[in-house]
Homo-oligomer: A and B are copies of this chain.
Amino acid sequence: MSSEVNSACCHDEQPDRQTVQPHKRQLLQRLKRVEGQVRGIASMIESDRYCVDVLTQIQAARAALDAVSLQILQDHLRGCVQQAVQHGEGDQAIEEITTLLAKWKG
C-alpha cells in the first residue's frame, strides 16, 4: 500500500495521469463501509423491511458517497489542479472540473 502524501499528484507526462490519492487509506475504508451499506440495503429489501426505513438507509449511503467524492475533489483541486496551473495547463484542468460540477448540480 502506498504511503499517504499531502496532495494528489498527477503525473501529466503519463497518458493515464496516475494519481495517488493523499487520503487513500481513509477513502478505501469509507468505500468499504459504503459497500457494506449497499449490501445492507439489499438485505433490508430481501427481508421486506418498511420502504421509508430502506429509503433512509439509501440516503445514508448516498451521503457517504458524497463525502468520498468531496474529499477526492478537494484533494484534486489542492493537488492536480494547482500543479496544472503552475505548469500553465490550468484552463484544461478547470474545464474538466466544471464539466463534472455541472453534472453534480443536475
Contact = CB atoms under 8 A, between A and B. Distances in A.
B48 A18 contact: yes
Interface string A71-106: 011111110111001100011001011101111111
A90 B82 contact: yes
Contacts of A20: 48
Interface of A: 2, 8, 10, 16-21, 24, 27-28, 31-32, 34-35, 38-39, 41-42, 45-46, 48-52, 54-56, 58-59, 61-62, 65-66, 68-70, 72-78, 80-82, 85-86, 90-91, 94, 96-98, 100-106
5 contacts: A21-B54, A24-B46, A27-B45, A58-B69, A104-B105
Given A31-B45, A55-B76, 18 more contacts: A16-B50, A19-B50, A21-B48, A21-B51, A28-B45, A35-B42, A38-B65, A52-B97, A54-B72, A56-B100, A58-B65, A58-B72, A59-B100, A62-B66, A65-B65, A70-B98, A77-B97, A85-B90
